[in-house]
């Protein structure tokens, strides 16, 4: 793997916020990160936030593809870790999509699954445009930060 790639991987592998909290907060952050739930202080506040959940689903899917691509470039323990992270992010993306669908259908405006998929598709197109615009390492860092903006799914209201 290229030595230019490792700085991007390190930033993606760090817990969100790039600084390690101490005590119980550190354990909580590590647990959330290792469970593939992106951590952030932003939390979806209402059922209308199904749009944010749909966007986060697409972002986590992109992170999963990124980790998978990185894993395919080697066969050592680090590559296996990247594959595991990829699978974790893909699983989280599916949970975000399911929750977005549930919330969209329960809102007063009766949002439907096609609307969730439209938002996911638009987000994926925006991410792809950004990938084409930036060098790989810069894109990897940017994408990691975008995904960090997603609240852990377990913090989302369970209406």
pLDDT at 133 (0 to 100): 96
pLDDT at 110: 62
Over its C-alpha atoms, the chain yields an Rg (Å, rounded) of 16
Q: What pLDDT is recorded for position 88?
A: 94
Helical H segments across the chain, by residue range? 5-13, 23-34, 50-71, 77-106, 113-133, 136-148
Other Cβ atoms less than 10 A from the Cβ of 59: the count is: 26
How crowded is residue 29: how many other Cβ atoms within 10 Å of its Cβ? 18
CA dihedral 53, 103, 158, 17 (to 10 degrees): 10
* pLDDT value at residue 112: 65
- With a pLDDT cut of 70, the percent of the chain lying above it is 62
pLDDT tops 80 at residue 55: yes
């Amino acid at each position: 793997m290229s030595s230019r790639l490792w700085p991007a991987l390190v930033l993606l592998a760090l817990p969100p916020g790039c600084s390690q909290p101490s005590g119980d907060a550190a354990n909580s952050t590590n647990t959330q990160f290792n469970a593939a739930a992106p951590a952030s202080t932003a939390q979806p506040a209402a059922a209308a936030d199904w749009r944010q959940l749909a966007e986060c689903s697409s972002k986590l899917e992109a992170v999963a593809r990124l980790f998978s691509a990185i894993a395919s470039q080697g066969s050592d323990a680090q590559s296996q870790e990247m594959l595991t992270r990829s699978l974790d992010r893909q699983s989280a993306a599916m949970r975000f999509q399911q929750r977005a669908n549930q919330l969209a259908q329960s809102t007063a405006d009766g949002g439907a699954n096609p609307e969730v998929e439209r938002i996911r598709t638009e987000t994926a197109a925006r991410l792809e445009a950004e990938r084409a615009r930036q060098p790989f390492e810069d894109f990897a860092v940017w994408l990691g930060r975008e995904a960090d903006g997603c609240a852990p799914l377990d913090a989302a209201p369970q209406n």
